[in-house]
Amino acid sequence: MKQILKSCTALTLSLGLIAPALAQEPLKELGKGEGELSIVAWAGYIERGETDKNYDWVTDFEKQTGCKVSVKTAATSDEMVALMNEGGFDLVTASGDASLRLVAGKRVQPINTALIPSWKTIDERMQNAPWHTVNGVHYGAPYVWGPNVLMYNTEAFKDQPPKSWKVVFEEMTLPDGKSNKGRIQAYDGAIHVADAANYLMAHKPDLGIKDPYELNEDQYKAALDLLRTQRTLVGRYWHDAMIQIDDFKNEGVVASGSWPFQVNLMLAEKQPIESVIPEEGVTGWADTTMLHADSQHPNCAYMWMEHSLSPKVQGDVSAWFGANPSVGAACNGNELLTDEGCEANGYNDFEKVKFWKTPVAKCASQGECVPYHRWVSDYIGVIGGR
């Protein structure tokens, strides 16, 4: 809760989404590396072989560039925004619900794509994506993307995998004969309101929700009411991937929204875990490596952005996290991802994913919508039982 309150304060300061940010001048030419590089990243995004020696895309980079990489893991987009507001970092792997906040708050700077030779290899679907491109100006290099899946325990669901998000939103008896009450989890981040809205799009079409991130007052109230029902079922709200894994292994949790990262780690341990994209569809994330406005090591940062777009790194990250690469060449010939990996991770389902974005007051689908600062404060209330 302390983390969410801290993030809410930082959010209030950073929600300058109404006024467009003025683009500062990007770096003109690449110089010598400064010897250090500090990155704010999601868990599993920057690996140096410490968890599994096969997954290491840091060591060679450090040897080749002399830039020593340090990583601060963040559990939510709001935490990433808070850390970038505090400063002291060079890069952040920001999801779509944080990236434009960082642009509007002038916490990240435009990039010079000419200094990133591999820019031309980026998937066209990602190259000019609206979560990192403002008025034709790029504020980062695409990294990887993927869906928020429904992870479940196969022993609880036996031969009947869940088909709907209903198992985490409404009380019901699961195939093992027991209630789901106390055995499910929900994401400890205000963007989870969009998951409730996505569920309501399918089950209460009369609400007229066209975009789970663009909700009028009535639609928003319905989403909060559903989340309050979910509150009576949740055993724990998760934001730490490793704690969620432990809860599935040791605390009797059997179903939750999750990332492919957790699924892959538990499958590697031969845990009774699988995941599914339910019939209502999914929200998801497309992450961008963005350069802090006050980066002290911009040359190392540009070197990392180029390194991160190599087919080898793109494939390795995608294999490790269960994500999809932003460079299509990574889908073939990567030993860890394999030639079937992209299809298995949903590379061809790009249009089906409702990617995270920051809710704003002036929205495209219906003019007036509930802005994100309300999502944050109200979701704190939901978690607190209000």
Q: Which fold has domain 2-146+286-348?
A: D-Maltodextrin-Binding Protein; domain 2 (3.40.190)
Kindly report the backbone phi and psi dihedral angles of residue 133, in degrees, each rounded to the nearest multiple of 5, phi listed first.
Answer: -120, 120
| Domain boundaries, given as residue ranges, for the chain | 2-146+286-348, 147-283+359-383
CA gap 137, 142 in Å, rounded: 14
Q: Which amino acid is at 271?
A: Q
What pLDDT score does 24 carry? Answer: 67
What pLDDT score does 16 carry? Answer: 40
pLDDT mean for each 10 residues of the chain (386 residues): 40 41 74 97 96 96 98 95 97 95 96 98 95 95 96 94 97 97 96 98 98 97 98 96 96 96 92 95 96 98 98 97 96 96 90 91 93 96 92
Say yes or no: do domains 2-146+286-348 and 147-283+359-383 share a fold: yes
Task: Quickly count: other Cβ atoms within 10 Å of residue 377's Cβ.
Answer: 15
**What dotted CATH number matches 147-283+359-383?**
3.40.190.10
What pLDDT score does 101 carry? Answer: 93
CA gap 24, 276 in Å, rounded: 43
- Calculate the alpha carbon distances from 303 to 34, 60, 298, 383 in Å: 11, 12, 9, 41
What pLDDT score does 336 carry? Answer: 97
